[in-house]
Amino acid sequence: MIIIRKAKKTDIPEIEKLDKFGRQLNSYSGLDKLDLQVKEEPGKTYYDKFLRGQKKWMYVAESDAKISGFILFNIEKREIYFKIKKIGYIDLVYVDNKKRGKGISKMLLEKAKDILKEEGIKYVKLSVHSDNFTARKAWKKQGFKEYRIDMFKKLR
Amino acid sequence: MKARKATLKDAKRILKIYFELMLRFEKMDSYDKQSRKYWKEGALAELKKIMRSKDSRFYIIEDKKKIAGFVDLRLLKKSKIFVNYEEGHIESLYIKPEYRKKGYSRLLLDEAEKWFKKRKMKWITVGTHAYDDSANMFWKKQGFRIYNHKYVKKF
């Protein structure tokens, strides 16, 4: 039985442990390499911002009293000159390796969709690293279309 | 032809060309016709504020005293959890259609690289529209590599 519920402060250590994203980032372009020396202050981590922030949400998928996945999302206000004034942003979705293939990420996304729709959001966006082919394929399958590209160049 | 650093005196002309660039945006980034008031009233002050900042810089190309294109550069600071938490970001680079194929973009990019190096940046980043094939080809030719893709879906 999988339950999707709002994350609590006490979930953060478990979420942090589950979140391999940080380590994953290290394998991408040097641009996103994490400084492992820098420790985030407890209570002021990236996740905390989603617990308390305005128009920011964090939900977890729980099964057998354990967290098997989570989603972070928010609403982004755009510049005044755009026709589309605000947009939903899926910051991060992560499901435990061992719990994949059960539709957990889909459930988490459905939750985000419900909340964002209630907020009057019509579009939702997300970012994926170039080398993360699995994720890119998965999002395309979900009906997401590429609309922006970020590029970099190393200066010598 | 040489690119030169833009000053506040150029702000009005830069704004005009910025507006022209905006009108070309499509799909998700389409321009809101209702924002005309903003372009008439607030936009110039906002642009000047950015131009005054130490951490931004504009270069322009002039052809017979007319502005042919510009580049808008910013120094970005990310979270310190990244090893490289600073990057030189190209917010916009635009050449008016009638002045293209003259190598003006390259001249602006040269100035950009010089300024970013002077400010000790190790990386340059730029964002493009996925549909803009000619822009994407230009950046690749200049040695840029894709590192991130943004996707969107309508509910």
Rounded to whole angstroms, the Cα distance separating A109 from B49 reads 39
Partner-chain residue, chosen from B82, B116, B151, that has the shortest CB–CB distance to A125? B151
Q: Give A64→chain B minimum CA distance, Å.
A: 32
In a 3-state reduction of DSSP, which class is residue A45? coil
| Nearest beta carbon to residue B29 from set A82, A113, A129 | A82
The verdict on a CB contact (< 8 Å) between A151 and B147 is yes
Give the burial class of B130: count Cβ atoms within 10 A of its Cβ; 0-12 exposed, 13-18 middle, 19 or more buried: middle
CA distances from A102 to A97, B35, B107 (A): 11, 46, 53
Asked if B80's CB is within 8 angstroms of A80's CB, the reply is no
Indicate the pairing of strand B145-154 with strand B86-95. unpaired
Q: How many residues does chain B have?
A: 155
Asked if B125's CB is within 8 angstroms of A145's CB, the reply is no
Choose the closest CB to B155 out of A32, A113, A140: A113
Judging contacts by C-beta atoms under 8 Å, the chain A residues touching residue B123 are: 30-31, 152-155
Cα separation, B129 vs A148, in Å, equals 5
DSSP 8-state secondary structure symbol assigned to residue A43: T
Is B126 in the A-facing interface, judged by CB distances under 8 Å? yes
Q: Per-residue pLDDT for A142 more than 60?
A: yes
Mean pLDDT over the full length of chain A: 90
Nearest CA among A117, A45, A22, A12 for reference residue A75: A117
Report d(CA A15, CA B146) in Å as an integer: 30
pLDDT digits (tens, 9 = 90+) for B3-56: 999 999 999 999 999 999 999 998 999 999 999 889 988 999 999 999 999 999
Asked whether the beta carbons of residue B123 and residue A140 sit closer than 8 angstroms, the reply is no
Q: How far apart are CA B141 and CA B127, in angstroms?
A: 15
pLDDT digits (tens, 9 = 90+) for A71-102: 999 999 999 999 999 999 999 999 988 888 88
Q: H/E element holding A41?
A: none
Q: What is the pTM for the complete model shown? A: 0.92
Q: What average pLDDT does range B80-86 have in this prediction?
A: 87
Average pLDDT of the segment spanning A35-62: 88
From the list A48, A151, A119, A76, the residue with the least C-alpha distance to B89 is A151
Task: Write the single-letter amino acid at A147.
Answer: Y
Angle of helix B43-52 relative to helix B11-23, nearest 10 degrees? 120
* ipTM of this complex: 0.94
Q: Does the pLDDT value for residue A22 go beyond 60?
A: no
The predicted structure's pLDDT at residue A26? 59
